[in-house]
Amino acid sequence: MSEAAVAEYQLSTEPKLKAFVAAVLERCGVAPEQAAVVADVLVAADLRGIESHGVARLESYYVGRIRSGHLRPKPEYRIVRETATTVLYDADNGLGHPVAKMTMEKVIEKARAHGSAFGAVRNSNHFGIAGYYAMMALPHDMIGMASTNSVKYGTATFGRDVLLGTNPLAFAIPAGNEPDFVLDFATTTVPKGKLEVYKRKGKPLLDGWAIDEQGYMTQDPDAALRGALLPLGGFGTDGGGHKGYGLGLLVDILCGVLSGGAYGPDLPVVTDVREGAISHWFGAFRIDGFRDVAAFKADMDRELRSFKDSLKAPGQDRIWVAGEPEFEKTAHHRATGVPVHAKVWEGLQKLGGELGIAFDLAR
């Protein structure tokens, strides 16, 4: 991290951050075991270097909505439908993380018994990073999948309406000695936060990121923030934008339509607090339904290494595989401290003061 960057950040530790997040949520009426799950998911994001989905959201999203009465701190998570290998939960407009974890646990339990399983959740809220739930399959020697729809920022190929969330898809596949393969990506080219970073820095956006309100591609962050994000693959179809649009719509269907939750036209934009409008989707299957796990993992190591050891493009000294940057950041942050942006740090301090929780986050 550069010196300038260091000055912007404070360092905390994983246990301190988790304890603080859990205490805040408990003070807001969330049951201790559920508060602990939210803390685990949020701090996992900070550990993995995905700040936008970490403790930065504690006040702005979760606590803010509980305080304003738009999110139920004590929901009744309930199973709506269940078969041997499928399960659907209704989250009762509660926090997304506990019900997502609960659903993925059920999916894993069913996959252990029968080989494969899927789950979905409706009437939920933002659940943090999708990768967290896909990764729950790893210690069970399963391949895990997770997804969620989201507040809308994105548009369709050839369109200009704001219709799609950043709609991430995550897949987790265990390796042996190599870091596990964890692919967790937004189906828009960039997240909305990237437009805000470029606005702050006064930098022009790159082509393929966003359109203005009229539907023209724009390099102006302000115009883009009033417009819409473009799907992975960019504007039109030349760069495959229709594929990213298709993936975004796939996620909205798997999450929103399949669960009987909100989808497409009924999803909120960011300025519109709509209760329980988010839905999730999960899947898992056993590797030993196909091969012995040890042989599979040995081949995974060889596969991942063959990419990492392949010839580099000019000016590049490293080829990564999905999940590896986050794996290394987690180890680094555990060893040297978890960075929290100075503004977020101040916000947490203020929140602690308001709720009467001792603020002792410094490493």
Binders of a copy of itself among 174-203, rule CB under 8 A? 181, 183, 185, 189-190
Shortest distance in whole angstroms from residue 11 CB to a copy of itself? 27
Burial environment of residue 292 by CB neighbours within 10 A (0 to 12, 13 to 18, 19 or more): exposed
Stretch that binds a copy of itself, among 12-20, 68-76, 86-94, 335-343 (CB under 8 A): 86-94
With a CB cutoff of 8 Å and minimum separation 6, the contacts of 125 are: 61, 62, 65, 71, 91, 93, 94, 95, 96, 276, 278
Instruction: Name which of 200 and 318 has its Cβ closer to a copy of itself.
Output: 318
Stretch that binds a copy of itself, among 51-59, 67-75, 128-136, 212-220 (CB under 8 A): 212-220
Residues 43-82 that bind a copy of itself (CB under 8 A): 81
- H or E segment and range at residue 46: helix 32-47
Residues 288-307 that bind a copy of itself (CB under 8 A): 289-291, 295-296, 299-300, 302-303, 306-307
Residues in the interface with a copy of itself (CB under 8 A) total 86
Does residue 156 bind a copy of itself (CB under 8 A)? Answer: yes
Three-state DSSP state, 311: coil
Instruction: Name which of 37 and 255 has its Cβ closer to a copy of itself.
Output: 255
Shortest distance in whole angstroms from residue 211 CB to a copy of itself? 7
Shortest distance in whole angstroms from residue 126 CB to a copy of itself? 21
Closest residue by Cα to residue 146 from 180, 117, 114: 117
Three-state DSSP state, 57: helix
Instruction: Name which of 8 and 207 has its Cβ closer to a copy of itself.
Output: 207
Question: d(Cα 201, Cα 191) in Å, to the nearest integer?
Answer: 16
Instruction: Name which of 1 and 295 has its Cβ closer to a copy of itself.
Output: 295
DSSP string covering 50-114: -GGGTTTHIIIIIIHHHHTTSS-SS---EEEEE-SSEEEEE-TT--HHHHHHHHHHHHHHHHHHH
Which whole-number Å values give the CA distances from 184 to 110, 233, 312, in the listed order? 23, 17, 23
- End-to-end Cα, the chain, rounded Å: 17
Shortest distance in whole angstroms from residue 282 CB to a copy of itself? 11
Whether the CB-CB separation of 80 and 110 falls below 8 Å is answered with no
Does residue 337 bind a copy of itself (CB under 8 A)? Answer: no
For a copy of itself, the binding residue among 11, 138, 250, 357 (CB under 8 A) is 250
Three-state DSSP state, 195: helix
Three-state DSSP state, 88: strand
Stretch that binds a copy of itself, among 34-42, 236-244, 333-341, 345-353 (CB under 8 A): 236-244
Shortest distance in whole angstroms from residue 199 CB to a copy of itself? 17
Does residue 108 bind a copy of itself (CB under 8 A)? Answer: no
Instruction: Name which of 29 and 320 has its Cβ closer to a copy of itself.
Output: 320
Does residue 5 bind a copy of itself (CB under 8 A)? Answer: no
